[in-house]
Each structure stands twice: as C-alpha cells, then as structure tokens.
A = this chain, B = another copy of it.
C-alpha cells in the first residue's frame, strides 16, 4: 500500500526485493559468463566511500574448483554448494588503496591520507565490500536468477585456497541459479518501520 510512493515499477520491486528469496535448491539451467558480465557491468556503478572498489569475485566453474571450495564449507552448506549451477566467492582486496588514485582522479591523495594503515583499510574494505556485495546480490536478481549467500565456511581456509597472498578476505559465498523445488523456507519476520526508524 506504500508502493505508490516509489517510482520503480511494482514488477521490478517484486523481482529485486518482494518476491526474490534466498534459494537453497536450484534447477539444472546453467548460468553463463554473459549473465555475470551483465550483472557486474550494472552494479559496478553502486556508490562506495571514495569510490573504492575492494570487491573481488571468483567464479567456481570447474569440478576441481568446486572440490577445492567444498572442503572449506560448513557441513550444512556442502550439498547446496555442490549442486548450484554456479558458485561465486565474494572477497575483498585489502590492498584496494593501491588502485585508488585511478578511481578517484580528482582526489588521488586520499590513498595516503586515509588508507596508509592496514587495519583502517581492512575495516573500510569489509564495509564497502559489503555494500558492493549487496549491489551484486541485487544484480543477480536483476538477471532473473536466485542468489543463495552463505557465511558458513572456514574463512581462513578459503582465503588461503583461492588467494594465498594474505591480502584478500572472503565476505560471502553465493550460490547462483534458477530456483529448484522447495527452494526456500517461509519468509522470516522483518523489523517494522517503527522499530528501525526514529525522527529527531
């Protein structure tokens, strides 16, 4: 009843938020590189602080890659991660500041003014990488696909397995595909507007 206050049409609202759900089962339909390219080339425009872009994505396509990933997943996540048409490891590059002068050409000194300390970079990477991960999930839905983001895994194991340079931190592992049978649980409750929003 409040959707009249939005400009985005109702079908798009449904596609991205209201009918989109975290999927736990998937059909066999493959997910193409062209779909992931279209998703990235849309959501790359989402805003971050200082236009930093710490997000990195590893698409796990080979059988060998899938095995390397599965050994680090929590037991409850192994079966669906094994069965999903495509799995994406979302991580952040904690050395994102090295490329910042290219991405913020009107303020290249931001790199040294704000990001010379590794703990500051790590905190910034996880916050802005999570923003980018949120945009990525919306993008998966914009492609008519379901996302199944997971955080149940051995993070250190994944970092070593897929990056190995000590400079990357996994944020989430996301199953991607068309939803299968009984793909989701009932929708869990959300906090009401009045529980979240106050006015001063």
Q: Spell out A's residues near B (CB within 8 Å).
A: 2-9, 12-13, 15-18, 20, 22, 32-47, 49, 51, 53, 55-62, 64-65, 68, 99, 102-106, 123, 126-128, 130-135, 137-138, 141-144, 147, 149, 151, 162, 171-172, 185, 187-191, 193, 196-200
Contact = CB atoms under 8 A, between A and B. Distances in A.
Contact of A35 (B5, B17, B55, B57): B5
A53 B131 CA distance: 15
A38 to B, nearest CB: 4
A91 B57 CA distance: 27
A40 to B, nearest CB: 5
Contact of A196 (B55, B185, B200): B55
A44 B189 CA distance: 10
Q: How many copies of this kind of chain does the complex include?
A: 2
A8 B2 contact: no
Contact of A6 (B128, B130, B134, B143): B143
Given A12-B8, A143-B6, A45 B106 contact: no
A34 to B, nearest CB: 5
A5 B34 contact: yes
Contact of A199 (B45, B61, B131): B61
Contacts of A61: 199-200
B151 A49 contact: yes
A88 to B, nearest CB: 8
Nearest to A49: B151
Contacts of A123: 126
Contact of A18 (B38, B45, B135, B149): B45
A197 to B, nearest CB: 5
Given A59-B200, A106-B188, 12 more contacts: A5-B34, A6-B38, A12-B12, A46-B138, A49-B149, A49-B151, A57-B196, A68-B200, A131-B131, A131-B137, A132-B134, A138-B138
